[in-house]
Amino acid sequence: MQVIIVKDKAQMGKTAAEIVAEGMQAKEHFVLGLATGTTPIPLYRELIRMHRKEGLDFSTTITFNLDEYVGIEGTHEQSYRFFMNRELFDHVNINKKATHVPDGMADDAEMFCAEYESMIADCGGVDCQVLGIGSNGHIGFNEPGTSLGSRTHKTALTESTVKDNSRLFEKVEDVPTEALTMGIGTILDAESILLLASGANKAKAVADAIEGPVTATCPASALQFHPNVTFVITEDAATVLKLEWVRA
Ligand code: PGA
């Protein structure tokens, strides 16, 4: 496990973008796993800058997003499809048909989730999975208590997540209460994992993930089982870490 502590969000975005770009340049049909939320925005801004200024090419890149709300269309401003278009896809030369976000409007969610797993497998698996982390240690919408072996599935959002996310909706009743998410087992199948965290409110979850016991009460702690994980975290998200090696 590699832990890179950076000064601020801008540096987090730059460091993460260098890692992603290196992978994209090394493999033609690079399969990139993507995340939504506030945290990866500096990464997406930097990738857009690299595309514009340095010619970073997305034309053969394939993407799979971690999750999506159930019951809202991809055209809804708060859907994760809409977010990805606005924050990244609309600004780079990616083939939109090669970008995958779970379909929150699927009639048969269970069948869709199985298909999503097959689509990832058919592309040869995810080469690099970008993750954020919830203050409760969740990754994707895998809330505490989710099986560490879980695959893509439909899940109910916890009350605290609905409340957190309500800031983006007109009223709390508008926040979807269910989502489709890659499972923890799905995430662990990625060749490499890049977890980003910024802000003091993430410091405990980051320490639990890296230094705590592996437990379903902190879903991100399952990453300790993965042989190729890089955490890129800001100084304020690193304050609870105890081990000296991470600061070396
Ligand atoms: P955030 O969400 O980036 O908006 O903090 C991260 C997460 O909940 O995974």
pLDDT of residue 247: 64
Q: How many whole angstroms separate alpha carbon 54 and alpha carbon 115?
A: 36
Distance 144 CA to ligand 1 centre (A): 14
> What pairs with residue 6 in β-bridges?
234
Active-site positions?
A: 67, 136, 138, 143
Residues of the chain with pLDDT under 70: 245-248
Q: How many domains does the chain have?
A: 1
pLDDT digits (tens, 9 = 90+) for 112-125: 999 999 999 999 99
Tell the burial category of 140 from Cβ atoms under 10 Å away from its Cβ (0-12, 13-18, 19+). Answer: buried
Asked if 104 and 75 count as a contact pair (C-beta separation under 8 A), the reply is no
CATH code of the domain containing 94: 3.40.50.1360
Residue pair 196/5 in contact (Cβ under 8 Å)? The answer is no
C-alpha neighbours within 13 Å on the C-beta side of residue 112: 19
- CA-to-CA distance for 2 and 6, rounded, in angstroms? 13
Q: Is any atom of ligand 1 closer than 6 Å to the C-beta of 199?
A: no
Choosing from 38, 165, 232 the residue with most ligand 1 atoms within 8 A of its CB, the one to mutate for a pocket test is 38
Looking at ligand 1, which residue's alpha carbon is closest to its atom 8? 134
- The one-character DSSP state at 138 is -
| Strand order from edge to edge, sheet including 2-6 | 2-6, 229-234, 192-197, 128-131, 31-34, 62-65, 99-100
Q: What is the pLDDT of residues 123-170, one digit of tens each?
A: 999 999 999 999 999 999 999 999 999 999 999 998 878 888 888 899
Model-level pTM?
0.96
